[in-house]
Each structure stands twice: as structure tokens, then as C-alpha cells.
Amino acid sequence: MEQQISSITELSKSQAPSFANYELDAAYDEMFEHDGTARAQYRPLFNRLQELAPSELKQRQQTADIAFLNQGITFTVYGNNEGTERIFPYDLLPRIITAEEWTKLEKGLAQRITALNLFLKDIYHEGRILNDGVVPRDLVYSCKHYRREMRGIRIRRDIYVSVVGTDLVRLNDGEFAILEDNLRVPSGVSYMLANRQVMKRVFPGMFSSYNVQPIDHYGQALLSTLRALAPPNRPDPTIVLLTPGVFNSAYYEHTFLARQMGIELVEGRDLIVHDNIVYMRTTGGLRRVDVIYRRVDDDFIDPLTFRPGSILGAPGLFNAYRAGNVALANAPGTGVADDKALYAFVPAIIKYYLDEDPILPNVETYLLSDDKQRRHVLANLDKLVVKAVGESGGYGMLIGPHSTAQEREVFKQLIESDPRNYIAQPTLALSRAPCFIDGRVEARHVDLRPYILYGENITIVPGGLTRVALRRGSLVVNSSQGGGSKDTWVLS
């Protein structure tokens, strides 16, 4: 390994000052082979970067930052008192995925979403998979995102998850594995689109020299997906995007997507349900709503059915939904299938419904409700990652190798008091990609979140959001935890 590190340093020193301190370690490097030579798909990019002085890279980074600032692409960090609204950090250097790699990802993701959707349909109807003992019933029934109200409801096309963001990581052997499914209200797709816009502006020549598959049609694909969910007797459906409002961290994305699709952005107070029909208040009177792309959590969408105090939803919405008069994307109750303990059963779920082996593997996962597995995890907390099953956004997590004894003690007690609520996984060496940081190129850990749309059929725009753990050595890529992102190129 030492030798490999020196070889890239040698290579870089002579030709590309920005790469002078670039290091390779055991983690898979997106750009370089183990021997320090650039991978074939990265070679033209690497060569071009060598021609650019660090000052020029810096200048382009500034151009990019200004573009983001002008577009108002921000997100909000909760629990941070100073200036909670931030610009989403953008890294200048693209991440490149080959056509061959993408074909496998696409197949694997489609397989996984198809199976998870069948699972959701099953557990809200006959529950065959529970009766057959493939997935433990108590795991499903005890999940706080399992909605008993969804039992027995037939929904349009039997599609529960229309918009999915699946988190993938690339492991040391270069193979992708699934880290997490996000089946409720996945966010971040606007950053994927914005990153591409900015990339075209900052590196127009280099971008066009590569054959990158386009992603700009995401908005139209999302619109078609939503349209496919409309009640069959509504040939020209009115589609809206329901946002919690301006204080929500993803509000920028909500406005962006509504604009892209040319649909109304509404808040709960803009909607009214009468006689099982949903209307939106407009200056011209009430207008019937047929499909709601809701970016509001289940709990809040209807105070009559779910959380009584919610003012973010519309009273009676769920009854209109049950009656088939309005579609919701995603369906309520999909969170049971992205529960982190349920995750361990997804390979079995794929096998059960499709009789296929999973194309994309899972990461090894310990269920802490199991006595034996829990004992093992508690004895190895310093090596493992512990996650709360119903959380997202990088909250409620312990990264063993980076934790203090005190933090481990806290998690030990949390786990012992509610084992069902936690899982553990080995600390993964996420792959690393070159990032432009403080005037030079350094390796940072990255993941990949492709966005999957499920309407009349499954559409995955080539690529996704590559999230970057910007702090050196950090493994947490969530934007809420100080992560950034970079453009993701899928070659054709």
C-alpha cells in the first residue's frame, strides 16, 4: 500500500500540482487503480485536470458557488443555532460511472423496488409473507411506520412507492451494495439536477467531450409517473406538490420540482376536502385535485386520520384517498419497508416475490432484538455502526471507530432499553473520490443515491446524487451532517 501511495504522488508531482497530496488507501478509489493510474473512464478528465493550474480550478469553484447562491439552492440544518440556512456544498470534480456499471445498477434497483412494492401490497392485504414466516410479523407490526389504516385499501395500479431514493455504497472490491432504501419522502433530486446545470457551465468543454447520458428529463418523468397514478376517470388530472412550508429544510427542492413540472405548490391550508373530493383554493374558486405528490410525512397529512394536531395536511384527505378519488405519492405506510431492521430481510423478500437472487447485495446487518446478535454487537461497539431503525438523515447514529467511550455507553443503554429500535452494521470503507478542497485535490468518501420512479413502468434517470463526506476521514455523507455533493456522470 505504501508503495501505491508513493506512486501516485510521484506521478502527480511531476504533472498535476493539484494532485500532489492525493493518497490512496484500502478503500476503492473512484478515479485511480490501486497502482495509481487513472481508470480508463477517468483518463480524459485526469489529463484535462493536469493542464489546469490550481488557481484556475479555484476560479471555477467560485463560479460554481456563485451559481448556487444565485439560484438560492440552500438547505437547512436543524439543531444548529448559527445561520441554519446553508448553501449545499458542491464539489467541482464529477464522479463517473461506466455504462456497464450502470446497466447492473439499473437492473438491481428495478428488481429491488419491484419486490419492495409487492411486499407493501402483501402486508397491507393478505400478509402471505408473514403467514409463511419469511418476514417476522412482529417486525412489521411493531414498526412505527406501519399504518393499520392502509390495510385492505386498494390503490391505483397497486403502486405504493412511486418516488424512491436508494443509497448505494461501493465497497473495497469495487462492487456496489445497497446501504439504505428511502421509500417515504426521499429528497435531494434537485441537487442532482442543479449539479448538472452548474457542471455544464463550469466545464462545458470537458462535459461535451464525454458521452454523458442526460438527466434533464427527470421533471417530465416524475410528472408522467404522477399522472399514471391519477384516478382512471380523470383523464386530464390536476397534480399538485404538497409542501410542509417555507421552514422545511427541503423547501427549495419543493419549489424547484413544482416549477420543473409546471404544477401548483400547495400547503395543507390551501386544500379542502368535501364529500370525499380534494380541492385546492385558487383565486378562481375551488379546483379539484387528483394527484398529490406529498413531501409531508404520513403523520401530518390528515389530522382526522393521523396526528390530530397537525396543521400541515388536510382533514379528510385519507378518506378521499381510500375512496380512490385522489392519489398520494408515495402511499402512506411505505416507511415500514425502509425500516432499517426490515432491510435485513430485503434479499429474502426479493427471493420470495420474484424468485430471483438479488442483483445488488445488502450490507451485513445485525438485528439487535436477537439476543445472540445483540451480545456480539455490544461487545464490538467500537468497530460497528449502530443506527436507529426509523431515523434518517444521519441522525441517531453511532460510528464505532470514531466514537468516544461515553458515546458508546449511551448507545449501549439505548440498545438495551429498546433493542427493536436499533441495528448494527460493520463500518464500511465507502469508496473515495477526488474532491477539490482548499486549492488541491483530496480523496473523500462518497455514496450514490439514484432516484427511481415507478408509474406505468420503472424509470431511473442515469446517475443520481453522489454525496460526499467533506470532512477528511468522515463516513457521514448526509447534507444535514455537513456533507456535500458532486455531479454524477453515467457514460453511454
Partner 1 sequence: MFYSIRHITRFSYSSPVSESAMEVRMQPRSEANQKCIRFDLATQPRSKIQGYRDHIGNIVHHFSIPGRHQQLKINAEATVEVTPALALPQALPTQAWHDLESLCASDEYWDYLVPSRYAHSSELLDVFKKEWNIERRDDPLTLLHEISALIYEEFDYAPQTTSVDSTIDHALEERRGVCQDFAHVMIALGRDLGIPCRYVSGYLYHGGARDRSAADATHAWAEAYLPDFGWIGFDPTNNIMTGERHIRTAVGRDYADVPPTKGIFKGKANTELSVGVQVSPTEAPPPGEEMIQMHTWISEPAQIEDDLQQQQQQQQQQ
Contact map string, positions 188 to 227, toward partner 1, x by CB under 8 A: ----------------------------------------
Check residue 396 for interaction with partner 1 (CB under 8 A).
no
Closest approach of Cβ 183 to partner 1, in Å?
A: 8
Backbone φ, ψ for residue 293 (5° rounding)? -85, 100
Which residues contact residue 372 at a Cβ distance below 8 angstroms, ignoring those fewer than 6 apart? none
Backbone φ, ψ for residue 385 (5° rounding)? -105, 130
Check residue 323 for interaction with partner 1 (CB under 8 A).
yes
Binds partner 1 by CB under 8 A, chosen from 316, 400, 419, 483 = 316
Binds partner 1 by CB under 8 A, chosen from 141, 259, 287, 418 = 141
CA 407, CA 400: separation in Å to the nearest integer?
Answer: 9
Closest approach of Cβ 428 to partner 1, in Å?
A: 20
Check residue 482 for interaction with partner 1 (CB under 8 A).
no
Residue 30 or 297 with smaller CB distance to partner 1: 297
Contact map string, positions 144 to 173, toward partner 1, x by CB under 8 A: ----xx-xx------------x--------
Can you list the positions of beta strands (E) in 62-216? 74-76, 85-87, 90-97, 163-170, 176-182
Place of cell 480524459: 44
Percent helix / strand / coil, the chain, rounded to 5? 40, 25, 40
Closest approach of Cβ 398 to partner 1, in Å?
A: 19
Closest approach of Cβ 195 to partner 1, in Å?
A: 18
Check residue 297 for interaction with partner 1 (CB under 8 A).
yes
**Stretch of residues binding partner 1 (CB under 8 A), selected from 215-223, 241-249, 356-364, 481-489:** 241-249
Check residue 310 for interaction with partner 1 (CB under 8 A).
yes
Binds partner 1 by CB under 8 A, chosen from 206, 221, 304, 491 = 304
CB 158 within 8 A of CB 116: no
Contact map string, positions 252 to 281, toward partner 1, x by CB under 8 A: --------------------xxxxx-----
Q: Considering CB under 8 A, how many residues would be counted as binding partner 1? A: 50
Binds partner 1 by CB under 8 A, chosen from 1, 53, 66, 311 = 311
Half-sphere exposure of 109 (CA within 13 A, CB side): 33
H or E element, residue 417: helix 405-417
**Stretch of residues binding partner 1 (CB under 8 A), selected from 96-104, 137-145, 437-445, 463-471:** 137-145
Closest approach of Cβ 229 to partner 1, in Å?
A: 20
CA 430, CA 168: separation in Å to the nearest integer?
Answer: 10
Which residues contact residue 481 at a Cβ distance below 8 angstroms, ignoring those fewer than 6 apart? 393, 394
Check residue 364 for interaction with partner 1 (CB under 8 A).
no
Strands 483-490 and 90-97: parallel
Binds partner 1 by CB under 8 A, chosen from 5, 52, 87, 130 = 130
CB 385 within 8 A of CB 399: yes
Residue 184 or 486 with smaller CB distance to partner 1: 184
Check residue 393 for interaction with partner 1 (CB under 8 A).
yes
Place of cell 427541503: 250
Check residue 355 for interaction with partner 1 (CB under 8 A).
no
Check residue 387 for interaction with partner 1 (CB under 8 A).
no
Burial of 406 (0-12, 13-18, 19+ CB in 10 A): exposed
Residue 391 or 409 with smaller CB distance to partner 1: 391
CA 12, CA 34: separation in Å to the nearest integer?
Answer: 15
Q: Considering only the C-alpha atoms of the chain, give the largest distance between any 2 of them, rounded to a whole number of Å.
A: 74
**Nearest one of 345, 331, 334 to 130, comparing CA atoms:** 345
Residues within window 26-85 making contact with partner 1, judged by CB under 8 A = 76, 78
CA 377, CA 329: separation in Å to the nearest integer?
Answer: 37
Binding residues for partner 1 (CB under 8 A): 76, 78, 130, 137-138, 141-142, 148-149, 151-152, 165, 182, 184-187, 244-250, 272-276, 295-297, 300, 303-304, 308-312, 315-316, 319, 322-323, 338, 391-393, 480
